[in-house]
Structure 1
Amino acid sequence: MAITVSLVALFGLVMYFLLRSRTLTPGAAFAAAGFGFFLASTGAAKPINQLTESLIQALPYL
């Protein structure tokens, strides 16, 4: 749960700066999609959360 909340905050901060600078790039589109999936409780949220947790757990081994 703590990971999800911090990712929502991170995506929200990224979206704020992207909207403020009026930038729309593939990175901005990814940030918007990620923010929407983590914020909403859709059927896609669980697999995305699992993927994110797996990636975070794999970071020390890279």
Structure 2
Amino acid sequence: MVLSISGVVLLGVIVFFFLKKDGLKMTHAIVCALFGFYLSTTTLAPSIRATGTSFANLISGFRF
């Protein structure tokens, strides 16, 4: 069985759990989100996207 989930949804769930369980403050989460939006408009965005895609392909190659 293969599950496919959006990276944004997965990261959103992780942030939610950090907010509730690990003491991540809402202001920290907002700053991280804003940093991500600004980072996506830089020249590093294609490299970051390629790295994320490569990592996702690596993970999807594992068979449990």
Q: How does 1:14-33 map to 2 (within 5 A)?
A: 14-23=14-23
Percent identity between matched residues is 26
Contiguous gaps of at least 5 residues in structure 1: 25-32
Please name the residue that 1:54 is paired with.
54
- Give the C-alpha shift of residue 7 in structure 1: 0.9
Bigger Rg over Cα = 2
- Aligned partners of 1:7, 1:42: CA distance in 2, in Å? 18
RMSD: 3.4
How many residue pairs get aligned? The number is 49
Q: Deviations over 1:29-54 (max 9, x none)?
A: xxxx58x53xx233133221110111
- Distance in 2 (CA, whole Å) between partners of 1:46 and 1:9 is 20
Structure 1 residue aligned with 2:41: 42
Aligned-pair CA distance for 1:21:
1.2
Cα deviations across residues 12-39 of structure 1 (Å, max 9, x unaligned)? Answer: 1000011111346xxxxxxxx58x53xx
- Structure holding more helix per residue: 1
